[in-house]
Amino acid sequence: MKDSSPDRVFIFDTTLRDGEQSPGFHLDANSKLRIARQLEKLGVDVIEAGFPISSPGDFEACRRIAREIRGATITALARAVPEDIDAVWGSIKDAEDPQIHIVLSVSDVHIQRKLGMTREQVLRRGAEMVAYARSMCDKVEYSPEDAGRADPAYLVETVETMIGAGATVINIPDTTGYCLPHEFGALVGRVIKEARGSDKALFSVHCHNDLGLAVANTLAAIEAGARRVECTINGIGERAGNTSLEEVVMLLKVRQSKLGLECGVETTQITRASRLVSELTGTPVQPNKAVVGANAFAHASGIHQDGVLKDRLNYEIMKPEDVGLSDSRIVLTARSGRHAFHHRLDRLGVKLAEGGDDAAWQRFLQLADTKKEVTDEDLRKIAAMSETNGHVGNGHPPVTDQLHDHNHVADAMRHLIFG
């Protein structure tokens, strides 16, 4: 590992495994390798390359990533059966730092209704497979699936059994996104405190977002002592998705003074990673998505625009440059004020004719009422007419006279701007 400090949170990216399991997603080997290279630039600690037993293509993708990516632990997922573990090891053994990841259910719902086994049988199977994996690889992660709905005492027993069998990482998953933050934090804290041998393992968490609580649950777990976070770029994943990498990383960065924690991610690569994953999966990021959404650093309210232009700290708790963007975005709409209007003109290098300010401003407001956003080209045309001081020119009456009927606003403004 890059750093064993108790103040260090390790970032485990599962975009290529759990993220790719999103309905309708598919990444071929070349696409997976492109994303893995960007994750390498991002500086994540662990890359989960896939589920090798699932298909020859995924096996080959995992093998290529293991052979080409350096600086990160490379892992892949196996069910608790020898064939899966063999497939994982066969695909990642050439990695600079390989890890085998084993998953087996721990909740009674899963044990009874999915596996058709008993608790004792699950414990025995898990321990045997952990030992089998350790015979090949020095690093083995064990994930007791659906831990969020498990009997806490049985979860503790499971964890200490797997540590005793050789697991070096224990991952506590809220597989169905069921837990509340205080519940999940208490559960993780109890396991770390009560499981014998817990000091010999690194504790990780893997939270789903079914109730929109993945990041909150992850934070609760970190505060309870977990030091590794399983997450995905753009929060993609099964159903409602996984913990969002960019949100957790920027949470740690922005609130570092409060949390006293840090990670090794190069945050200026976040936007590039987000856009690459969006491009290759064919899935756009929702505009209001935290950190990487198109509106994350965009301002449309006149009050907010004025505040940001005076000092970005008024409304921005992080810098767009920190995540790889060049600047905030001032969106000119009917809610914008004169400060934003003149700021954009200055950025464009456009000068209004002397005495034409009021006329240009009125034209802007009238146009803004007819469309979602006033563009730079619109502003250039408005500025070009500013010398008419309220008239369009060529014998046309003032704009306000053309707008007597609300239903003709769009037509009037189109005539004003485009002739």
The residue behind tokens 């809220």 is 174
Can you tell me the mean pLDDT for 31-36?
Answer: 97
- pLDDT of 124 > 60? The answer is yes
**Percent share of the chain, pLDDT over 90:** 67
For residues 94 and 339, give the distance between their C-alpha atoms in angstroms, rounded to a whole number.
Answer: 58
Residue 221 pLDDT: 98
- If one compares 365 and 187, the residue with the highest pLDDT of the two is 187
**Percent share of the chain, pLDDT over 70:** 85
Can you tell me the mean pLDDT for 126-146?
Answer: 98
Enter the tokens of residue 128: 């045997």
Residue 330 pLDDT: 61
One-letter amino acid of 34: R
Going by DSSP bridges, is the β-strand pair 73-79/46-48 parallel, antiparallel, or unpaired? parallel
Can you tell me the mean pLDDT for 164-191?
Answer: 98
Going by DSSP bridges, is the β-strand pair 391-393/396-398 parallel, antiparallel, or unpaired? antiparallel
Q: Could you please report the per-residue DSSP string of 186-223?
A: HHHHHHHHHSTTGGGSEEEEEEB-TTS-HHHHHHHHHH
- pLDDT of 152 > 90? The answer is yes
Residue 309 pLDDT: 62
Residue 286 pLDDT: 92
Residue 391 pLDDT: 44
For residues 98 and 46, give the distance between their C-alpha atoms in angstroms, rounded to a whole number.
Answer: 9
376-384 vs 338-348: helix crossing angle, rounded to 10: 90
Can you give the residue ranges of every domain in the chain? 10-281, 298-418
pLDDT per residue as tens digits for the range 332-372: 777 777 787 777 777 778 788 777 788 888 887 888 888 88
The H or E element that residue 46 is part of is strand 46-48
Long-range contacts of 109-114 (CB under 8 A, 24+ apart): 109/146, 109/149, 110/145, 110/146
- pLDDT of 398 > 70? The answer is no
**Beta-carbon count within 10 A of 10 CB:** 22
Q: What fold characterizes domain 10-281?
A: TIM Barrel (3.20.20)
Residue 1 pLDDT: 41
Can you tell me the mean pLDDT for 129-135?
Answer: 98
For residues 85 and 92, give the distance between their C-alpha atoms in angstroms, rounded to a whole number.
Answer: 11
- If one compares 380 and 47, the residue with the highest pLDDT of the two is 47
- If one compares 309 and 272, the residue with the highest pLDDT of the two is 272
- pLDDT of 85 > 80? The answer is yes
Closest residue by Cα to residue 190 from 219, 220, 153, 158:
153
- pLDDT of 310 > 50? The answer is yes
DSSP 48: E
- If one compares 348 and 411, the residue with the highest pLDDT of the two is 348
Mean pLDDT is lowest, of 21-25, 214-218, 270-274, for 21-25
Contacts of 192 (CB under 8 A, 6+ apart): 198, 203, 224, 225, 226
Residue 312 pLDDT: 65
Angstrom CA distances, 350 to 155, 159, 300, 346, 353, stand at 66, 66, 21, 6, 10
Can you tell me the mean pLDDT for 240-244?
Answer: 97
Terminal CA-CA length for the chain: 65
One-letter amino acid of 5: S
pLDDT per residue as tens digits for the range 197-234: 999 999 999 999 999 999 999 999 999 999 999 999 99
Average pLDDT of the residues of the chain: 87
